[in-house]
A and B are shown apart, each in its own frame.
Chain A
């Protein structure tokens, strides 16, 4: 297993009216994050806030190239980014104990926080296709270049870890500095991972190791 400290490239925010980040996503251009009662976008180049969608947003956020998927209460909502309308909902696999969310190749991956699990589910029905286990509380999950990454947060400690999507085996670990907790994780498809903070309402960019 590779193990190194997380290299933090940049910090975005805090943003007005945002106390905590609950989920992070990337639509190819802008970074989106869930802050309780809305989804907010900012420009990762300038750091400027762009627009927001008023929708219940209690945990992880994902983007499939066309729609957003957003955990709220014990459901996953499918949201039209243009109108903000909730198009459909499916039950979340953890019954509301879910934390991270990401889209990959036609399925959704959902973190189940204190149960330390990640489920792969059918985005139409919510049916669990597969589950893997982590050794720590799971906050965010994301796929990039065939790699499955998830954020952890237990006690005061957080790290970002790459795991084998079949077995859950830990392959690589990036330790966050003490006190920097992670909620929500998303890659920009390149060498950046975006993760939310739970204590200060900022989004951090972390270098993804090659």
Chain B
């Protein structure tokens, strides 16, 4: 490596991206382009960083496969941080394979963690877990170790396993402290907060109270009939009926469960399920049809009996009925929940993560923006959405050094 590149790399490692840029600002050779790319990423100019890294990857010779692969990994990390989730995941896989083949285990692991974080963001837990299981955290330096444990904790929390989540967060906290990176420590603190703030609401007998993640986990073991508004499912014991693709049936089930052991009037059921203000004859007919369908779906778990003014739920074995709901319910809670990570999201990334269309995400974002709950910056495809206040881009950019063997 040449003198100025070494000096610039040392400046970068010491957290001085401007010092690094100073040294290689006018250079167009591959290592200089890569260093400039990483410096720009650390300064938050992701668009320029991406272009520089792409040019660097092209400028390294085909023989310099490791340097090229590191540029690809760095670009993938920038894509992840800027929530460009449509970035080609295949390129990251290929880079990871190259790094593994050439013995760069550290950056190969880094590539693996980026893959896991992307899968976590778009809710593909099984795949994320599978990739993570193939990564051995023991030889990793502190910063990479912290990223690994954050991913472990992220999966455990989404899987409602609070004890392993706590253990992983403890590891992550120690590793982040050892690494001495403030952004990383802040990210661990934010993740830990999720265990101490209500993760859900429990509605039973017409009253409700907030639940910590731990209590939600405990609920899994209860024998109650639970109407789960997270998964759009009804379960009792180990039997689960998914109503994810039948929103009308789910809202009926939920209305019945909330009122249990009391009944719910036809008017109210019509209002909740169909959004109609008055239940006319056609509504009543439709309600009978839908209740019939729900009865079939829930047959193994509960019966639905007609009462004088409406319907009531009669669980078969369960002694109690409860509803598990999101902590804050508003129309666009799912969008807000994603934005709550403090990062800037594109509407296409939100759509990808929610498994819905970009247009419907945009329909959700507009009223939220009018209500001051979210804000956007940038225009066109570069437009990004955040929840205010903008606390800067909290990222754990641990970009791999793009230089051969450095």
- Which residues of A come within 8 Å of B, CB atoms? 20, 22, 36-37, 56, 58-60, 71-74, 92, 94-99, 112-114, 139, 153-157, 179, 181, 183, 198-199
Identity of the chain B residue whose Cβ is nearest the Cβ of A57 in the assembled complex? B6
Identity of the chain B residue whose Cβ is nearest the Cβ of A180 in the assembled complex? B405
Contact of B310 with A by CB under 8 A: no
A139: B residues at CB distance < 8 A:
1
Q: In the bound complex, how far is the Cα of B103 from the Cα of A73, in angstroms?
A: 30
Q: In the bound complex, how far is the Cα of B23 from the Cα of A97, in angstroms?
A: 11
Contact of B102 with A by CB under 8 A: yes
Contact of B196 with A by CB under 8 A: no
Interface pair B10/A36, CB less than 8 Å apart: yes
Interface pair A153/B6, CB less than 8 Å apart: no
Contact residue among B3, B29, B31, B406 (Cβ-Cβ distance under 8 Å from A74): B3
Per DSSP, are chain A's interface residues mostly helix, strand or loop, or mixed? loop
Shortest distance between the CB of A20 and any CB in chain B (Å): 6
Q: Name the residue in A59, A92, A94, A154 with the highest tally of chain B Cβ atoms < 10 Å from its Cβ.
A: A59
With A73-B23, A179-B103: A56-B7 Cβ-Cβ less than 8 Å = yes
Q: A59-B2, A156-B66 are in contact. List 17 more A-B contacts (CB 8 A).
A: A36-B10, A58-B3, A58-B7, A59-B6, A73-B23, A74-B3, A74-B4, A95-B4, A97-B2, A97-B29, A112-B2, A114-B2, A156-B63, A157-B63, A179-B102, A181-B404, A198-B405
B61: A residues at CB distance < 8 A:
154-155
Interface pair B1/A198, CB less than 8 Å apart: yes
Contact of B248 with A by CB under 8 A: no
Q: In the bound complex, how far is the Cα of B6 from the Cα of A37, in angstroms?
A: 10
Interface pair B65/A58, CB less than 8 Å apart: no
Interface pair A181/B405, CB less than 8 Å apart: yes
Identity of the chain A residue whose Cβ is nearest the Cβ of B103 in the assembled complex? A179
Per-residue A-contact encoding for B51-62, CB less than 8 Å = 1, 0 else: 000000000010
A58: B residues at CB distance < 8 A:
3-4, 6-7, 10
Shortest distance between the CB of B251 and any CB in chain A (Å): 60
Q: Can you give 8 A-B contacts (C-beta < 8 A)?
A: A22-B6, A73-B23, A96-B23, A97-B27, A98-B2, A98-B3, A99-B1, A181-B405
Interface pair B3/A59, CB less than 8 Å apart: yes
Shortest distance between the CB of A70 and any CB in chain B (Å): 9
Identity of the chain B residue whose Cβ is nearest the Cβ of A95 in the assembled complex? B4
Contact of B127 with A by CB under 8 A: no
A181: B residues at CB distance < 8 A:
404-405
Q: In the bound complex, how far is the Cα of B102 from the Cα of A179, in angstroms?
A: 8
Contact residue among A95, A155, A183 (Cβ-Cβ distance under 8 Å from B64): A155
Interface pair A73/B405, CB less than 8 Å apart: no
Shortest distance between the CB of A59 and any CB in chain B (Å): 4
